[in-house]
């Protein structure tokens, strides 16, 4: 398994580089700040954060490779047979919060886990996906996002996109609000249904699809004119993002439960966010349209 783990590590570190380079090119000036860190229990990572750019208000692209003597509760909740095993986890996780309210927030994560125990074969699995959170909906953006997601899944089976699209819709759902976080995309976890090479190839396909899915949307909306009312709604909707990440997100829970680096775990939170008491959009407004036509489970293709 050593060579296989090294292959995944090499891919993930290269993916972080490629994504950061592409986002810096769109920024045209502002660059990522890199913070390398070590974890006392084993491993470390490279946190890269970009702030106060012309296009990106705040974004983070993290690489981490950590290990420990025992899997945390968040990782064994659905697989109790793994309790007590040592673990090794590696992944790239990113969140981009653009300045312009007409560019959606995007999130992507790809990861690999190995759980080991003396005298038993290692148990491994992949996870990840990407999802889109618009503040003002454009049908062509959502269709493009899902088209790229579908194409990334197609070589692995006709039903893979539909399965992982549904999983994404169900996962990125705020139960206490009874509403989706955004328009979804792909989500998968505990993936070992294929052999290692096929599973790894699928993770790479998802990771490689992020830039083709997101960059055209950023380019289309980056110069879209906006007013303060649009920013106010963007900040209000970002509150839902914060609520999901702090209440439900598996990656956040895993990081905190394993004594992870808090600054890196919470870099996904937006710089500017607000909550309003019992707010509802005006009838017939652009804001109401988001709820009625975009924050619903639908077939975008």
Annotated binding-site positions for a divalent metal cation: 97, 107, 146, 176
Task: Determine which one of 54, 65, 107, 144 is catalytic.
Answer: 107
Contact in structure between 174 and 243 (CB atoms under 8 Å): yes
Q: Is residue 224 annotated as part of the catalytic site, yes or no? A: no
Residue found under tokens 């380019």: 219
Taking alpha carbons only, the member of 191, 218, 45 closest to residue 112 is 191
Contact in structure between 287 and 232 (CB atoms under 8 Å): no
In the annotated binding site for substrate, the residues are: 93, 109-111, 259-261
Distances (CA, A) of 131 to 96, 108, 161: 11, 7, 13
Contact in structure between 215 and 22 (CB atoms under 8 Å): yes
Contact in structure between 166 and 186 (CB atoms under 8 Å): no
Task: Compute the distance between CA of residue 45 and CA of residue 36 in angstroms, rounded to an integer.
Answer: 6
Q: What secondary structure does DSSP assign to 191-208, as a single string?
A: E-SS-HHHHHHHHHHHHH
Task: Compute the distance between CA of residue 144 and CA of residue 150 in angstroms, rounded to an integer.
Answer: 10
Q: Where are the beta strands (DSSP E) in 86-218?
A: 86-98, 105-117, 120-133, 173-174, 179-180, 184-191
The residues carrying an active-site annotation are 107
């Amino acid at each position: 398994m050593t060579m296989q783990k090294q292959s995944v590590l090499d891919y993930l570190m290269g993916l972080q580089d490629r994504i950061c380079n592409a986002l810096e090119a769109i920024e045209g000036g502002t660059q990522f700040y890199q913070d390398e860190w070590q974890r006392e229990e084993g491993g470390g990572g490279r946190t890269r954060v970009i702030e106060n750019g012309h296009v990106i208000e705040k974004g983070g692209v993290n690489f981490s490779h950590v290990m420990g003597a025992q899997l945390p509760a968040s990782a064994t909740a659905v697989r109790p047979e793994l309790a007590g095993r040592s673990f090794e986890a590696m992944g790239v996780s990113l969140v981009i919060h653009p300045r312009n309210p007409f560019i959606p927030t995007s999130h992507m994560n790809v990861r690999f886990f190995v759980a080991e125990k003396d005298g038993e074969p290692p148990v491994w699995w992949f996870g990840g996906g990407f999802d889109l959170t618009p503040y003002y909906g454009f049908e062509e953006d959502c269709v493009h996002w899902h088209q790229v997601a579908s194409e990334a899944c197609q070589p692995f089976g006709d039903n893979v996109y539909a399965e992982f699209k549904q999983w994404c819709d169900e996962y990125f759902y705020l139960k206490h609000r009874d509403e989706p976080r955004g328009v979804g995309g792909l989500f998968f976890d505990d993936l070992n249904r294929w052999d290692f090479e096929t599973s790894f190839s699928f993770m790479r396909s998802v990771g490689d699809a992020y830039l083709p899915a997101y960059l055209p949307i950023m380019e289309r909306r980056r110069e879209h004119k906006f007013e303060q009312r649009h920013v106010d709604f963007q900040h209000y909707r970002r509150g839902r993002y914060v609520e999901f990440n702090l209440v439900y997100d598996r990656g956040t829970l895993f990081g905190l439960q394993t004594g992870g680096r808090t600054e890196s775990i919470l870099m996904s939170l937006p710089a500017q966010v607000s909550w309003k008491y019992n707010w509802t959009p005006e009838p017939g407004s652009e804001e109401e349209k988001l709820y009625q036509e975009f924050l619903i489970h639908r077939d975008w293709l």
